[in-house]
């Protein structure tokens, strides 16, 4: 049977992040959100806590933990705010993890220590304006000039919706690009590390977003952007397989974040129901409100079990692709449903940005889209069950 009690080291981490979220993040994050401002002081504080280095070995400046530890931190942060949680998730799962999984020792030693410390952020450039869920339709190209000593990749193209790509502390973006002709009906796609400030690499103006308003999201463009040949990440032509692995892992992290948002909706609704009175009684006494909150708690609980199961499979080296898809599908749906119900419980106040549930409602929808839409998750589950493509 699964032991519902977290081991001591995990519980200590969870409590530490919970306290940070409630004492440091909660009082100030609404202002950042309203101003669409990136919360540099909070990100720096998370760096000092070691959160950006949680799943990485100490030799690279990490904390020597694992992916489950990262998921616990994401859940606790998202119970208060998703903008900060997605900054951590993208910085670790999408920014640093590709280097750790596929980089050479030289690449790891060069870039990982700063990323693990939180002093710098990395980003992952996959999505393109015409691509969306069809990542195999990559149009960004990279041609190799003067292969061998002194060779360079020349990158041209554009990327969309890239988290952490335009902050003052962004150090690199790993981009997928077509590096050769089709083989067996599929493009040769590779991953290439492009440091910030490289000539020809332009960070477009930030998006005006519905939610995640205190996180950083930009489009990127590359015009004869030249980087050294050794900036190839992993084996040439393996970029497609690499990002599939990264997205599988990232879906567990997003599921943990979504679970946090779903639980945050329960937390806020309980507090409000105990304070708010209507028709001479506190609304917690009305069965209609009780049933809403009970359903919300059930959804959050189910989502938590799903992501923890997928994370356990991952850290024990067992197949987890289907379970990651299930976790993201269940948790993102729970977040969306709980945000809707919490807003309903709050009534008119739920429509006001000064209350956290207003932010939760705006932040929830992207969880059914980013890092694989709910439709993509259903396809992955169906394929694993042997249903035809």
3-state secondary structure of 310: helix
> How many CB atoms neighbour CB 115 within 10 A?
28
Can you name the residues that pair with 206 across neighbouring β-strands? 218
Alpha helices, H only, the chain: 8-20, 29-35, 40-49, 67-78, 82-89, 97-102, 105-117, 239-275, 287-315, 321-346, 356-364, 374-384
**Three-state DSSP string of 128-168:** CCCCCCCHHHCCCEEEEECCCCCCEEEEEEEEEEEECCCCC
Q: Encoding tokens for residue 213? A: 């308003």
Give the single-character DSSP code of 7: P
Q: Encoding tokens for residue 304? A: 């938590």
Q: Encoding tokens for residue 384? A: 């694993």
CA–CA separation, 276 vs 7, rounded Å? 37
Q: Which residues are marked as active site?
A: 371
Can you name the residues that pair with 282 across neighbouring β-strands? 277
């Amino acid at each position: 049977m699964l032991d519902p009690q977290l081991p001591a080291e995990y519980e200590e981490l969870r409590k530490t992040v919970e306290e940070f979220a409630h004492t440091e993040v909660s009082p100030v994050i609404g202002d950042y959100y309203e101003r669409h401002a990136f919360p540099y002081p909070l990100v720096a504080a998370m760096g000092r806590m070691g959160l950006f280095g949680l799943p990485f070995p100490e030799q690279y400046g990490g904390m020597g933990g694992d992916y489950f530890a990262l998921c616990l931190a994401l859940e606790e942060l998202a119970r208060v705010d998703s903008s900060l949680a997605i900054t951590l998730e993208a910085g670790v799962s999408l920014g640093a993890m590709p280097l750790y999984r596929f980089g050479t020792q030289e690449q790891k030693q060069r870039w990982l220590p700063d990323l693990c410390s939180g002093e710098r952020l990395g980003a992952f450039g996959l999505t393109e304006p015409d691509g969306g869920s069809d990542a195999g339709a990559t149009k960004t190209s990279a041609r190799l000039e003067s292969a061998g000593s002194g060779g360079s990749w020349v990158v041209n193209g554009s990327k969309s919706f890239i988290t952490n790509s335009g902050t003052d502390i962004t150090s690199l973006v790993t981009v997928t690009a077509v590096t050769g002709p089709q083989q067996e009906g599929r493009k040769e796609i590779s991953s290439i590390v492009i440091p910030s400030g490289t000539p020809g690499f332009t960070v477009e103006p930030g998006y005006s977003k519905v939610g995640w308003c205190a996180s950083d999201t930009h489009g990127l463009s590359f015009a004869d952007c030249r980087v050294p040949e050794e900036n190839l990440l992993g084996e040439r032509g393996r970029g497609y397989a690499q990002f599939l692995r990264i997205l599988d892992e990232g879906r567990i992290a997003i599921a943990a974040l979504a679970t946090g948002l779903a639980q945050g909706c329960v937390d806020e609704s309980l507090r409000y129901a105990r304070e708010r009175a209507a028709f001479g009684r506190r609304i917690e006494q009305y069965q209609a409100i009780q049933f809403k909150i009970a359903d919300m708690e059930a959804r959050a609980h189910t989502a938590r079990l799903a992501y923890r199961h997928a994370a356990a499979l991952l850290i024990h080296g067992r197949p987890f692709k289907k379970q990651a898809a299930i976790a993201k599908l269940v948790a993102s749906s729970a977040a969306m449903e709980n945000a809707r119900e919490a807003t309903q419980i709050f009534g008119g106040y739920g429509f006001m940005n000064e209350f956290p549930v207003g932010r939760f409602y705006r932040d929830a929808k992207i969880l059914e889209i980013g890092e694989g839409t709910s439709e993509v998750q259903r396809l992955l589950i169906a394929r694993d069950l042997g249903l035809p493509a």
